[in-house]
């Protein structure tokens, strides 16, 4: 079941309950634009969905795997650390400003200076759900082409 984050209280409670994603890692990411090409090669060329899904695993017994869903994505950027560095989220930020949600995998997000950070999502809506059955290295977002 998806839980919608709407109010400042929702944000505070969620971030408290998941300890601001401390000791976590982004396991997988999936994006659905809404656009597609039909079998007759005609195109539906509209970003009608703009949904981003992020699977995050945590070193906690409660909420050990959480999926975030961002709807109406305005911006998504990711600068992963190279293979010689860790991928640990030590802290994160979730801010609501002017009816947009800003989530980043670092603390003290400055929404006026968003170009220098690791992972950042700006979206119209945010939801989360607990998917604790998905610990380990098995892929959550299965590639049906294999």
Length of the chain: 146
- Phi/psi for 19 (5° steps) reads 50, 40
pLDDT higher than 70, residue 6: yes
* Domain residue ranges of the chain, discontinuous segments joined by +: 3-33+47-133
8 A C-beta contact, residue 65 and residue 131: yes
Can you give the pLDDT at residue 136?
Answer: 87
pLDDT higher than 80, residue 64: yes
Using the structure block, give the residue that is written with the tokens 């860790």: 86
Can you give the pLDDT at residue 108?
Answer: 84
Section 77-84 average pLDDT:
80
Section 51-76 average pLDDT:
95
- Distances from the Cα of 141 to the Cαs of 25, 28, 75, 78, in angstroms? 16, 7, 21, 18
Give the tens place of pLDDT for each residue, 9-55.
Answer: 999 999 999 999 999 999 999 999 999 999 999 999 999 999 999 99
Can you give the pLDDT at residue 44?
Answer: 97
Q: How confident is the model at residue 145 (pLDDT cuts 50, 70, 90)?
A: low
Virtual CA dihedral for 7, 10, 11, 16, nearest 10 degrees?
160
Report the run of H or E that residue 88 belongs to, with start and end: strand 88-89
Phi-psi region of 102 (alpha: psi -120 to 50; beta: other; left: phi over 0): beta
Smallest Cα–Cα separation from 53: which of 39, 69, 42, 33? 69
């Amino acid at each position: 079941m998806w839980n919608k984050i709407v109010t400042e209280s929702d944000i505070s409670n969620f971030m408290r309950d998941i300890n601001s994603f401390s000791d976590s890692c982004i396991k997988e990411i999936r994006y659905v634009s809404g656009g597609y090409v039909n079998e007759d090669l005609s195109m539906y060329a509209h970003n009608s969905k703009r949904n981003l899904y992020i699977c995050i695993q945590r070193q906690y017994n409660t909420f050990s795997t959480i999926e975030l869903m961002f709807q109406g994505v305005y911006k998504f950027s990711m600068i992963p650390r190279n293979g010689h560095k860790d991928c640990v989220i030590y802290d994160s930020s979730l801010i609501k400003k002017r009816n947009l949600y800003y989530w980043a995998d670092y603390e003290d997000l400055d929404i006026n200076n968003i170009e220098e950070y690791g992972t950042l999502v700006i979206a119209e809506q945010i939801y989360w759900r607990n998917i604790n059955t998905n610990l380990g290295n098995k892929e959550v977002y299965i590639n049906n082409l294999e």
